[in-house]
Amino acid sequence: MYDLTFITLRERPELIINAAEWFHSKWGVPEEAYLECMNPYINNETEYGWYLCLNGDHIAGGLGVIENDFHDRKDLTPNICAVYTEESYRCQGIAGRLLNMAVADLKEKGITPVYLVTDHTGFYERYGWEFLCMVQGDGEPDPTRMYIHR
């Protein structure tokens, strides 16, 4: 059993470098790109946040909220992005709890609906997400699934 804590990056801004490195290691997006999104959130310039699950100071899972997750439907915003749970922590509801946390946080700030792109089917539906349409990812040969949480 783990001692897991769910936080926003705004609550623990000292973790910004670790978080950017962690997300980069999972998705290959440059750390600088994550920092460009995380800094405005930490500085209260946007409510598009970053959410982490910690086991001590170790990041077990996380996700972010950005304007557009690299697709052609710029009108469908904001987007949940970079959803990831470390393999050893999977099947414990971490991603679901992070998703619910982000959606509730945004809704509390008047930001709804929220969108996400994924190739997964069946996972996000468990947490209240509905398939909306197919979108074309930047530089991707095939369209991908867009979900909405109202």
In DSSP notation, 108-140 reads HTT---EEEEES--STGGGGT-EEEEEEEBTT-
| Model pLDDT, residue 1 | 62
Residue whose token pair is 């971490």: 94
DSSP letter assigned to residue 87: G
- Please, are residues 138 and 70 in contact by the beta-carbon 8 Å criterion? yes
Rounded Cα gap, residues 18 and 111, in angstroms: 27
- pLDDT for residue 2: 76
Task: Quote the CA–CA distance of 9 and 23 in Å, as a whole number.
Answer: 13
pTM strictly above 0.85: yes
Residue-level pLDDT, tens digit, the chain, 150 residues: 678 999 999 999 999 999 999 999 999 999 999 999 999 999 999 999 999 999 998 999 999 999 988 899 999 999 999 999 999 999 999 999 999 999 999 999 999 999 999 998 899 999 999 999 999 999 889 999 999 999
pLDDT of residue 57: 86
Three-state DSSP class for 48? coil
In sequence order, what are the residues at sequence separation of 6 or more whose Cβ sits closer than 8 angstroms to the Cβ of residue 78?
48, 65, 66, 67, 106, 111, 114, 115
- Distance, in Å, from the CA atom of 42 to the CA atom of 87, rounded to the nearest integer, reads 28
Q: Spell out where 24-126 has E strands.
A: 50-55, 58-66, 79-85, 114-118
Domains and CATH numbers, the chain: 4-112 (3.40.630.30)
